[in-house]
Amino acid sequence: MKALFIGGTGTISSAVSRLLDEKGWELYLINRGTRNNALPDSVKVIRADINDEESVARLIDKMEFDVVADFIGFVPEHLERDYRLFKGKTRQFIFISSASAYQKPLSHYGITEGTPLSNPYWEYSRNKISCEEYLMRMYREEGFPVTIVRPSHTYGERSIPLGVHGGKGSWQVALRMLQGKPVIIHGDGTSLWTMTHNSDFAKGFVGLMGNIHAIGESVHITSDETLTWNQIYQCIADALGVRLNAVHVSSRFLALCSKDDYMGSLIGDKANSVVFDNTKLKRLVPEFTATIRFDHGIRQTVNYILEHPECQIEDIEFDQWCDKVVNALEAALKSINN
């Protein structure tokens, strides 16, 4: 079987690439070659900027694929380009959307693929919805063989998954934990969330590749494990071998006082309790089971990051912002109690 990935080196796609290599797929990637050193030797790289449509069209002119997957499509224009490039060249086109596209606020915490798509808080999610709508129209009107995959919060070895972090990643939160400083948890920490290890996600994704029953379908791929945010942060602290010093802060307050897009990533996503029903995925891929429990997976992640200094990117601005938020809450409490 022959596949082409647009992207292929991110948290999700790198795990899929590794699993396809193990299963003997012939895999091509289209990317600019900036993070290809960790790829299996068998992967063939088509070095190009996917946005240079004419150049890419020449490079793939004589090629056809069983599966093409776009991991870096974010707005409808990206998918319109993909349609022009790959119509008639693939038996299946997989678009990686996002589970954040599901209705916010949720009318029911249990999410199936039938849950409405609507997110007024996050432009990222609304753009993903528009991408899905375009592709499904191409499926209905033109027979374009689309499968839509919606990941939720998927993590790997290079970054610690969190609810609140700065623009430079999650290391600064881990560093605050190591230093014994207060760490912000949104809300009261009791809302429900799902973390999925990228190797588990890869099993579901590869099971959908070349699967005739997945054509025209939308499927989310997540773990069946549900955790509270308090449990998530405690697992991270345990993996670091430190005591968790948690400060709980209203999600809306965080959204209003941060330069980062917490209105989208919190109010439009992580502040909501979500529990995913993977019945549809398991019907399409009967062998799928997510086997990596979060407290085990996060230890692998933390150990990798501690052993690789290049993953330890400090974020002084975010660190100072955290201190301001914590100090402001303490000052407010003192003023009320005096």
pLDDT for 290-325, tens place per residue? 999 999 999 999 999 999 999 999 999 999 999 999
Tell me: do 213 and 107 sit in the same domain: yes
Residue 257 lies in a domain: yes
Read off the pLDDT of each residue in 10-29 and give the average, rounded to a whole number.
95
Residue 332 near residue 250 (C-beta atoms within 8 A): no
Residue 160 lies in a domain: no
Q: Output the CA torsion 256→236→20→307 (10° steps).
A: 110
Tell me: do 136 and 184 sit in the same domain: no
Residue 224 near residue 291 (C-beta atoms within 8 A): no
pLDDT level of residue 31 (50, 70, 90 thresholds) = confident
Token duo for residue 272: 């909501």
Whether 37 has a pLDDT exceeding 80, the answer reads no
Whether 199 has a pLDDT exceeding 70, the answer reads yes
Q: For residue 207, what pLDDT is reported?
A: 98
Amino acid occupying residue 158: R
171-178 vs 316-337: helix crossing angle, rounded to 10:
60
Residue 283 lies in a domain: no
pLDDT digits (tens, 9 = 90+) for 150-195: 999 999 999 999 999 999 999 999 999 999 999 999 999 999 999 9
153-168 per-residue burial string, b: 16 or more CB within 10 A, e: under 16: bbbbbbbbbbbbbbee
Whether 35 has a pLDDT exceeding 70, the answer reads no
Range of the domain at 43: 2-152+197-221
Q: For residue 313, what pLDDT is reported?
A: 97
What are the beta bridge partners of residue 154? Answer: 196
Tell me: do 146 and 209 sit in the same domain: yes
Tell me: do 253 and 202 sit in the same domain: no
Residue 165 lies in a domain: no
Residue 164 lies in a domain: no
Whether 36 has a pLDDT exceeding 70, the answer reads no
The CATH number assigned to the domain holding 16 equals 3.40.50.720
Tell me: do 330 and 228 sit in the same domain: yes
Residue 104 lies in a domain: yes
For strands 93-96 and 146-151, give the pairing: parallel
Read off the pLDDT of each residue in 278-294 and give the average, rounded to a whole number.
98
**Which percentage of the chain shows pLDDT scores above 90?**
92
> What's the predicted TM-score (pTM) here?
0.96
For strands 26-31 and 67-70, give the pairing: unpaired
Q: Give CA–CA dist 240/204, Å, rounded.
A: 30
Residue 139 lies in a domain: yes
Q: How confident is the prediction for the chain on average, in pLDDT?
A: 96
For strands 246-249 and 146-151, give the pairing: unpaired
The CATH number assigned to the domain holding 295 equals 3.90.25.10
pLDDT digits (tens, 9 = 90+) for 226-266: 999 999 999 999 999 999 999 999 999 999 998 888 999 99
Whether 34 has a pLDDT exceeding 70, the answer reads no
∠110-115-116 over CA atoms, to 5°?
A: 140
Read off the pLDDT of each residue in 53-70 and give the average, rounded to a whole number.
97
Nearest-CA neighbor of 3 among 51, 70, 62? 70
Tell me: do 119 and 183 sit in the same domain: no
Whether 111 has a pLDDT exceeding 70, the answer reads yes
Total number of domains in the chain: 2
Q: For residue 109, what pLDDT is reported?
A: 86
Tell me: do 144 and 82 sit in the same domain: yes
Tell me: do 32 and 57 sit in the same domain: yes
What are the beta bridge partners of residue 278? Answer: none
Tell me: do 13 and 123 sit in the same domain: yes
**Which percentage of the chain shows pLDDT scores above 70?**
99
Q: Give CA–CA dist 12/197, Å, rounded.
A: 9
Tell me: do 188 and 117 sit in the same domain: no
Q: For residue 44, what pLDDT is reported?
A: 93
Residue 158 lies in a domain: no
Tell me: do 96 and 126 sit in the same domain: yes
Token duo for residue 52: 């240079």
What is the distance of C-alpha 248 from the center of its chain? 24
Tell me: do 81 and 213 sit in the same domain: yes
Read off the pLDDT of each residue in 207-226 and give the average, rounded to a whole number.
98
